[in-house]
């Protein structure tokens, strides 16, 4: 059973940076598409950024220019570098990966940005 584990969340002041990591373990196959989602209290889960197997990226308008998604295929890991964080970025961040046409979610990591 594939296990997806996120790490790197925490508390940061506005303007600061965090780097989230997402590892797909117990998995001999490569990640196809990777994505980061977030869910703030009382709001729906939304796509923040995604990256294809070929490295093509897509970002939500609210994070374009501040966040960067990347991947390390050798480590089966997807990253989200978050710069110039804002209080409205506060949410639980979830990783979602597609492996052999099946999608897997991580348990989420909390990101809190103080003003």
Kindly report, residue by residue over 47-103, the tens digit of the pLDDT: 999 999 999 999 999 999 999 999 999 999 999 999 999 999 999 999 999 999 999
The H-assigned helical ranges of 38-98 are none
CB 109 within 8 A of CB 9: yes
Dump pLDDT digits (tens) for 8-48. Answer: 999 999 999 999 999 998 877 889 999 999 999 999 999 99
Distances 41 to 13, 33, 45, 55, 93 between C-alpha atoms, Å: 19, 26, 10, 31, 12
Q: What was the pLDDT predicted at 27?
A: 79
Q: What was the pLDDT predicted at 39?
A: 98
Cβ count within 10 A of residue 33: 18
């Amino acid at each position: 059973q594939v296990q997806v584990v996120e790490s790197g969340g925490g508390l940061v002041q506005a303007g600061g940076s965090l780097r989230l990591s997402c590892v797909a373990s117990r998995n001999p196959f490569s990640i196809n598409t990777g994505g980061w989602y977030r869910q703030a209290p009382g709001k729906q889960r939304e796509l923040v950024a995604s990256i294809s197997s070929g490295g093509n990226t897509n970002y939500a308008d609210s994070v374009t220019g501040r966040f960067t998604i990347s991947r390390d295929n050798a480590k089966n890991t997807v990253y989200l570098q978050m710069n110039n964080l804002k209080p409205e970025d506060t949410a639980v961040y979830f990783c979602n990966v597609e492996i052999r046409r099946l999608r897997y979610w991580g348990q989420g990591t909390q990101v809190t940005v103080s003003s």
